[in-house]
């Protein structure tokens, strides 16, 4: 029960990694506010949680929505924990194919949302005497080629933002870290892949964790694998850890293993 009496905010908590994390934090005693666009998923989750998880319809590309979500947490005595996690695949294009509107949408969803989440949570946490923020980046923040251009760049931005925010907010006893998932079997692929033929098979193999390009741990990455790392970073067990990240990728970032 590491989070007894704590109030946590989880964006993108209606599905996948956010949902597993909301459940994990609630299991360990937190009251969790889930902010998501998906009303059906959010309300279903809240409805089955014995009141430990509440749903606030939130679009993280809207600053007003972010403020409303954090203010709802403040009314409950929080936020003690913020998990900036909402996301989607974003613009699927290489540099010679990008367009300004798609680029902006991807940055607003994946990077600006995190900056604004931290920016508005910080004063509330400072007033309480501290807090913990965890941001979802991606293995693509380090291995640029693992995802489409705008997505990779946004996630690399999340990693830098994590470090800068950690440096700026340590004075207020606010820790800021990132989690870098590898390939995790969630809806993000269903909604964003849209591949055909051999490319689709390769992508599916990656998600299932099988085949030559798979990670050393050959099983699908699970949302619960990420939730466990987030819970650790959000907990007092990580009280001397800030401005850094945990890779949860089954070892895929080790890269191809040559035989010599
Ligand atoms: P998911 O699709 O299961 O969950 C994403 C959630 O974010 C959904 O509930 C969706 O409704 C919500 N969301 C989307 N846009 C939103 C918005 N504007 N405002 C509020 N909520 C919004 O996918 P997931 O894999 O759980 O993704 C969670 C995070 O993990 C994302 O930031 C994603 O980039 C990151 N990530 C995922 C993987 C992976 O392999 N699944 C790998 C690296 C990073």
Atom 21 in ligand 1: which residue has the minimum CA distance? 36
Looking at ligand 1, which atom is closest to the CA of residue 86?
7
Looking at ligand 1, which atom is closest to the CA of residue 191?
2
Full DSSP string of the chain: -TTTT-EEEEETTTSHHHHHHHHHHHHTT-EEEEEES-HHHHHHHHHTTTTSEEEEE--TT-HHHHHHHHHHHHHTT--SEEEE----------GGG--HHHHHHHHIIIIIHHHHHHHHHHHHHHHHT-EEEEEE--GGGTSGGGS-HHHHHHHHHHHHHHHHHHHHHGGGTEEEEEEEE-SB-SHHHHHH----HHHHHHHHHHHHT-STTS-SS-S-B-HHHHHHHHHHHHSGGGTT--S-EEEESTTGGG------
Check residue 192 and give its pLDDT.
Answer: 55
Check residue 188 and give its pLDDT.
Answer: 82
Looking at ligand 1, which atom is closest to the CA of residue 58?
20
Listed as ranges, residues in the chain with pLDDT below 50 are: none
Site to probe by mutation for ligand 1, drawn from 88, 159, 179 as the one with most ligand atoms within 8 Å of Cβ, is: 88
What pTM, to 2 d.p., does this model score? 0.97
Active site residues per annotation: 151
Give the ipTM of the model, two decimals please: 0.99
Check residue 187 and give its pLDDT.
Answer: 86
Site to probe by mutation for ligand 1, drawn from 9, 12, 144 as the one with most ligand atoms within 8 Å of Cβ, is: 12
- Within 6 A (CB) of ligand 1 lie 11-12, 14-18, 36-38, 41, 58-61, 85-88, 109, 136, 138, 181, 183-184, 186-188
């Amino acid at each position: 029960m590491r989070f007894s009496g704590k109030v946590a905010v989880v964006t993108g908590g209606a599905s996948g990694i956010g949902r597993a994390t909301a459940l994990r934090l609630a299991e360990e005693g937190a009251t969790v506010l889930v902010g998501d666009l998906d009303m059906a998923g959010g309300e279903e989750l809240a409805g089955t949680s014995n009141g430990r998880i509440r749903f606030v319809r939130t679009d993280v590309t809207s600053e007003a929505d972010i403020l409303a979500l954090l203010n709802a947490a403040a009314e409950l005595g929080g936020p003690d924990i913020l998990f900036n996690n909402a996301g989607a695949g974003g613009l699927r294009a290489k540099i010679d194919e990008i367009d300004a509107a798609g680029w902006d949408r991807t940055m607003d969803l994946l990077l600006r949302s995190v900056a604004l989440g931290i920016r508005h949570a910080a004063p509330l946490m400072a007033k309480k005497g501290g807090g913990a923020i965890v941001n979802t980046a991606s293995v693509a923040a380090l291995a640029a080629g693992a995802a489409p251009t705008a997505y990779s760049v946004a996630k690399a931005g999340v990693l830098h933002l994590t470090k800068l925010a950690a440096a700026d907010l340590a004075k207020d006893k606010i820790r800021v870290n990132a989690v870098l998932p590898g390939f995790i079997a969630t809806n993000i692929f269903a909604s964003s892949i849209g591949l055909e033929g051999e490319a689709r098979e390769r992508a599916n193999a990656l998600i299932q964790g099988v085949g030559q390009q798979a990670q050393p741990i050959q099983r699908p990455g699970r949302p619960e694998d990420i939730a466990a790392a987030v819970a650790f970073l959000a907990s007092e067990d990580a009280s001397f850890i800030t401005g850094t990240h945990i890779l949860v990728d089954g070892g895929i970032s080790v890269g191809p293993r040559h035989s010599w």
